[in-house]
Amino acid sequence: MTPKNVDYSLYLVTDSTPTILGEKDLVEVVKAAVGGGVTIVQLRDKNSETAELVRIAKDLHAVTKPAGVPLLINDRVDVALAAGVEGVHVGQDDLDLKSARHILGPDAIIGVTANSLEEALTAARDGADYLGIGTVYATPTKENTKSIIGTSGVQTILAKLSEEGLGNVKTVAIGGINASNAQRILYQSASPAKKLDGIAVVSAIVAADDAKSAGSDLRRLVKEPPAFAGTTAKTNLSPSDIIARAPNTIKRMAERKPLCHNMTNLVVQNFAANVALAIGSSPIMSNNGLEAGDLAALGGSLVINMGTTTPEIRGNHLKALVAYNAVGGPVLLDPVGAGATAQRREGVKALMAGGYFDVIKGNEGEIRTVSGAQGVKQHGVDSGASQLELEDRIKLVRGTAARERNIILMTGTKDVISDGERTFVVSNGHALLGDITGSGCTLGTTIASVLAVERDDKLLAALSGILMYEIAAERAAARDEVRGPGTFVPAFIDELYAVRQECVQGCDKWIQAAK
């Protein structure tokens, strides 16, 4: 057990306060957690007197040492020395790293709390063995945390560490991490050059009724990629290959008839169900989060549409999101009107912190809000005029997709779609789509339907859906009987149906209209 060879994958930080530990015995909890698979332990106790702390540390060490699990003491270098444990963890207001190193020597494991990029870079330069990066999500366990940085904040720090040649420092994330989000946090915080070495948890283990099973559940989760990651190898299809494959992708969808579960707004339920039927998926319109687990088990995909949202609806959305993430069922977010009200801005944040979206699609204002831009002006749920140049839209979409590690689609006269590496601008579609209700929402339904059958290359799935949808709109608008929005809707549904039939019959001339 040398300091440079520590397994940081599941880091338990203790807490002896009654609200978290309850009536349980700390040593028993740590013993159980180590039995479950915790790989490193920190004694964090802000209340006990020094002599008592040393006693606790020795008791814990008697449990951790035989298991080959390092024990560190929060803040107290003196206690670490007295108890003969493997190291310390120091916060920004504790003894500084260099002094701690001087006292404990080169072999001690010394970790530092980093709540910001500056703190992370400084600690890494000063020779910390690892950084505890946070606060990822707000947590009742530690009040007055400095800032909630989310997975994007962790990712920024990891990328910068690597860029500055500090990629060797080990890293764990902390704050609000539990079994429901551990895999996603590891996945979404990863930058191309550096990923986390592990997660640190307090309440997810210490407050659990059974610390051993809580520990072993978490250990299993941190070892495996999340179900939604699908095959991690991206297909290396060229842009023209991707477009050429769209008809066959639609064909597979129409033949499989996957379930497309829509949690959508009151306005478009009927239209969205009709679009799903026309393109060849099987719609279910259910806003009940409690049945989402049963529906997710059927192997389809989910659309979460914020069109008519309330706190109660958001609760249902979050339940469904977790249920689909657990089985790797694709989820598409349509953050309708995201920038329009405080409720909606909050809603987007809560949803993005509550689970993984394979695709997020919205108009310019909505995607800007998703990207975290402040002060986005949106008057209603309609798109309004574009405020960004195409070049800036591309940058924003690509950057957000790379950050979220998903697909971002910004709709408009020109749609911009990216998986963070590959970016497409689609110029298909028709102005009449802007004159009917639910065209954005049902594009979401279309893309989600394709995603249900094409999970390896999600960009291919999304692009196939967009092309089918927008080329069908062009064909509908060109029909003689179409004189405006009223006659457009039935013609559009017919053309979606026609494109689907053409795909099934292997006649893919329609794709030549892609531009």
Should residue 96 be labelled a site residue for Mg ion when binding is judged by CB under 5 A?
no
From the CB of 79, what's the least distance to Mg ion, in Å?
A: 13
Q: Is residue 191 left, alpha or beta, with left meaning phi > 0 and alpha meaning psi from -120 to 50?
A: beta
* By the rule CB under 6 A, 151 interacts with ligand 3NM: no
* Closer residue to ligand 3NM, CB minimum distance, 185 or 401: 185
Structure tokens at 408: 């971002």
Is the CB of 158 or the CB of 473 nearer to ligand 3NM?
A: 158
Helices (H), 77-210: 77-83, 97-104, 117-125, 150-163, 182-189, 203-206
Q: Which of 14, 141, 301, 464 binds ligand 3NM (CB under 6 A)?
A: 141
Q: Which residues lie across from 360 on neighbouring strands?
A: 333, 408
**Which option in ligand 3NM, Mg ion, none does residue 75 bind, with CB closer than 5 to 8 A by kind?**
Mg ion
426 binds ligand 3NM (CB under 6 A): no
- Decide: is 176 part of the binding site for ligand 3NM (CB under 6 A): yes
Give the H or E element holding residue 43: strand 40-43
Kindly tell me the sign of the dihedral angle through the C-alpha atoms of 440, 331, 323, 186.
negative
Nearest Cα to Cα of residue 205 among 359, 32, 357, 401: 32
Distances (CA, A) of 350 to 181, 195, 327: 13, 24, 21
Any contact of residue 177 with ligand 3NM (CB under 6 A)?
yes
| Cα-based distances in Å from 435 to 24, 197, 266 | 62, 50, 18
- Residues numbered 184-213 forming contacts with ligand 3NM, rule: CB under 6 A: 201-204
- What residue 345 binds from Mg ion, ligand 3NM, none (CB within 5 to 8 A, per partner kind)? none
Which window, 93-101, 204-212, 269-277, 419-427, contacts Mg ion (CB under 5 A)? 93-101
Select the span of 74-82, 130-138, 272-280, 293-301 touching Mg ion (CB under 5 A): 74-82
Report the nearest approach of ligand 3NM to the CB of residue 81 (Å): 22
Contact call for residue 243 and ligand 3NM (CB under 6 A)? no
* One residue of 125, 142, 479, 515 binding ligand 3NM per CB under 6 A: 142
Of 7, 48, 59, 91, which one interacts with Mg ion (CB under 5 A)?
91
DSSP class of residue 178 equals: -
State the distance between the two ends of the chain, measured CA to CA, in whole angstroms.
59
The single residue of 260, 441, 503, 507 carrying the catalytic annotation is 441
- 202 interface partner picked from Mg ion, ligand 3NM, none, CB below 5 to 8 A per type: ligand 3NM
Give the per-residue contact string, 439-478, with ligand 3NM (x = CB under 6 A; - = no): ----------------------------------------
For ligand 3NM, the closer CB: 125 or 142? 142
Q: Residue 25 CB, nearest distance to Mg ion (Å)?
A: 24
Size of residue set near Mg ion by CB under 5 A? 3
State the minimum distance, in angstroms, from the CB of residue 60 to ligand 3NM.
16
**Inter-residue contact 301 to 332 (CB < 8 Å):** yes
Task: Give the sheet arrangement for strand 359-362, strand by strand.
Answer: 282-285, 259-263, 301-305, 331-334, 359-362, 407-410, 415-418, 423-426
Residue choice 110, 131, 174, 322 for contact with ligand 3NM (CB under 6 A)? 174
Q: How far is the CB of 44 from Mg ion (least distance, A)?
A: 8
Considering CB under 6 A, how many residues would be counted as binding ligand 3NM?
Answer: 19
Q: How far is the CB of 402 from Mg ion (least distance, A)?
A: 33
Is 441 in the active site?
Answer: yes
Q: How far, in Å, CA of 115 to CA of 122, rounded?
A: 12
Q: Tokens 């066959």 label which residue? A: 248
Q: Are 114 and 130 in contact (CB under 8 A)?
A: no
When asked if residue 13 is in the footprint of ligand 3NM (CB under 6 A), the reply is yes
Tokens of 65: 């040492």
Mark 77-116 as b/e (b = at least 16 C-beta within 10 Å). bebbebbebbbbbbbeebbebeebbeebeeebbbbbbbbb
- The separation between CA 2 and the C-alpha centre of its own chain, rounded to angstroms, equals 34
Please, what is the minimum distance in Å from the beta carbon of residue 145 to ligand 3NM?
Answer: 5
How far apart are CB 13 and ligand 3NM at their closest, in Å? 5
Secondary structure E strands in 250-388: 259-263, 282-285, 301-305, 331-334, 359-362
Which residues contact Mg ion by CB under 5 A? Answer: 75, 91, 94
Which residues contact ligand 3NM by CB under 6 A? Answer: 13, 44, 113, 115, 132, 134-135, 139, 141-142, 145, 174-177, 201-204
> Looking at the annotation, which residues are catalytic?
441
